[in-house]
Amino acid sequence: MSFLLSLIKEILFPKRCGSCGKIGSFLCAECYNQLVFLSEPVYISLKKNHLSQVIAAAELTTEMRSIIHTLKYQSVKEIGITLAHLLYFTTNIPKTDLITCVPLHPIRLQERGFNQAAVIAQELARLTQVRFVDTLQRVVNSTHQASLGSKSARLHHLDNHFRLSIEPNQIANRSILLVDDVCTTGSTLNECAKVLKTNGAASVIGCTIAHGV
């Protein structure tokens, strides 16, 4: 994009902090300073865990929640790029053969225009120079997790919601980094990991921007 065009874009659509709305950047210094970064992998309590580990950059605090909300529901795609950088520069991303992401159902994808997890994963793939491969499809347009009440309801509602969308030989014996925006119970990551492992993946590591309930 030429300098003039980017200047016009900056004037008409200035960058705003995804949390407080202040003009200047997608994450202002004040909100950045409020983030609670995680130094250890996230502990996930699941009956049958298909994930080698789950790493997250920060806790799902009020600021983080509003940044992710702006990314998803106000469709500010560039915030996904900023969050991928945050993840890359604040955590030790394990080296894997491939990077993939939790898919959106096609209806949800059409509504939103993009999959926020794919935006983060693709930028992470660019930064780490690991190949991004879209491996999964979501076959059931599930109810939003937060509206599902109890933890056990959230843990059990995802059975058979995901399917492999490529040939299994493309993931066979490969280590995979599975990216999503938020991890709560870990059930979404785990269901995706189950499909990948069942189809021959060697290992799956969950990787999200935030962790929280």
**Which residues would be at the binding site for Zn ion (CB under 5 A)?**
17, 19-20, 22, 28, 31
CB 64, min distance to Zn ion, A: 11
Question: 30 or 159: whose CB is closer to Zn ion?
Answer: 30
Distances from the Cα of 20 to the Cα of 23, 31, 73, angstroms: 9, 7, 15
Contact 196, 171 (CB under 8 A): yes
The secondary structure element, H or E, covering residue 181 is strand 175-183
CB 31, min distance to Zn ion, A: 3
CB 19, min distance to Zn ion, A: 4
Question: 20 or 148: whose CB is closer to Zn ion?
Answer: 20
Single-letter residue type at 152: S
Q: What angle do CA 129, 165, 204 make, to 5 degrees?
A: 50
Question: 21 or 168: whose CB is closer to Zn ion?
Answer: 21
Distances from the Cα of 155 to the Cα of 136, 186, 193, angstroms: 19, 8, 14
CB 36, min distance to Zn ion, A: 15
Question: 30 or 111: whose CB is closer to Zn ion?
Answer: 30
DSSP track, 93-104:
PPP-SEEEEPPP
Single-letter residue type at 160: N
Question: 20 or 166: whose CB is closer to Zn ion?
Answer: 20
Question: 19 or 203: whose CB is closer to Zn ion?
Answer: 19
CA-only gyration radius of the chain, Å: 17
Q: Do strands 162-164 and 136-138 pair parallel, antiparallel, or not at all (unpaired)?
A: antiparallel
CB 81, min distance to Zn ion, A: 17
CB 28, min distance to Zn ion, A: 3
